[in-house]
Structure 1
Amino acid sequence: MTQRSNLPLDHALRMLGMVARMYRWAEARAQARPDQDLSLRQLSALYGIRDGISSPGQLARRMGVTPAVVTGLIDRLQQRGYVRRDADPNDRRRFRLSLTESGLAVGDALGQALGEELAAQFENISKTELESLGRTLLLMERALSALEARMPTSLPEGAGEADDS
């Protein structure tokens, strides 16, 4: 007797494998660019701040890392002149994160370069295939949004502490 395929699970496992491969590719390409000095995790931090996250705790939750990891990321980004720590006007013990002009520029430049390199892989596919890809991406975005909405608000001790240098 043949077992029936579980297409949703098959697709989910395939998607997880693709996400891992995409991350490895993007990290390698980001590191290979002589005009950039950002890791993919640092780029993610810049994007989070650009999107309105202003506290280190919020950034840690969005990135799925511990506050200690975010502190190291912010230290390195601040040393490079990409991020500012400004005093929180409501609580002097806290600070708010903001991008500098060069932080915004370097993040946008690296994101654009990675996007263009990936887009080049789709230049020779048909309009129908591009439209199908668009629908697939929409489904993936919906699934990820639903999963993110159910994410825990805090991480287990030691989670996400890989080096990002």
Structure 2
Amino acid sequence: MSDFDVNPPTMEAVQDLVVAALEVRRAVARRSGLSDLELAALEHVVTEPSSPGELARLLKVTTGASTGVVDRLEQRGHVQRRAHESDRRRTVVHVTPSGRTEIVDHLRPMLVALTELDEGLSDTEREVVERYLRGVIAAFGQVSDGD
């Protein structure tokens, strides 16, 4: 019998959360007609404009593959390449209103439900939940940070 045969409810909930998060990503990709890489790139530039090279590192693909992802997103009108502010030889990929809408519209029901759930927490409960979730993220990093 291994150490992980009997999981406490919190660990079972984390496992369920991971599965649900993967399902959300698959559903958004399917509904939007984006590949997993395109969706990941779009999600990233929604929060932070990035160079194609930075996207390549984030997506763990070659710069050529990253350029292809950006090309396809640009063709759909979801991103726009702009010259870097201080180095005109470099480009930065920015999300367009279309790209932001593509993500937010698919996630809106979930975001509304999560907001309502969060609003139902006391400040003390919110602190505990946040501390636990930050610990979960750090634990995930024990596996993923080496990639």
Once the two structures are overlaid, the 10-residue window that deviates more, 43-52 or 61-70, is: 61-70
Matches within 5 A, 1:62-81: 62-81=58-77
The two structures, once aligned, show a CA RMSD in angstroms of 4.1
The 3-state SS of whatever aligns with 2:90 is strand
> Identity of paired residues, percent?
26
Residues 13 and 56 of structure 1: CA distance in aligned 2, closer, same or farther (over 3 Å): farther
Within 1, Cα distance between the matches of 2:90 and 2:84?
A: 6
Instruction: For CA contacts below 8 A with separation 6 or more, give which structure has more relative contact order.
Output: 1
- Which residue number in structure 1 is paired with residue 38 of structure 2? 42
- Counterparts of 1:146-161 in structure 2 under 5 Å? 147=141, 151=145
Q: Residue 50 of structure 1: CA displacement?
A: 2.0
Equivalences, count = 138
* TM-score (ref. length: structure 1): 0.57
Q: Which residue of structure 2 lines up, in the alignment, with residue 26 of structure 1?
A: 24
Bigger proportion of residues as helix: 2
Q: Which amino acid is the alignment partner of residue 98 of structure 1? A: H
- Give the alignment's TM-score, normalised by structure 2: 0.63
- Gaps spanning 5+ residues in structure 1: where? 156-165
Asked whether the 8 Å contact 1:53–1:59 carries over to 2, the reply is: no
Structure 2 residue ranges without an equivalent (≥5): none
Question: Paired residue for 1:95?
Answer: 91
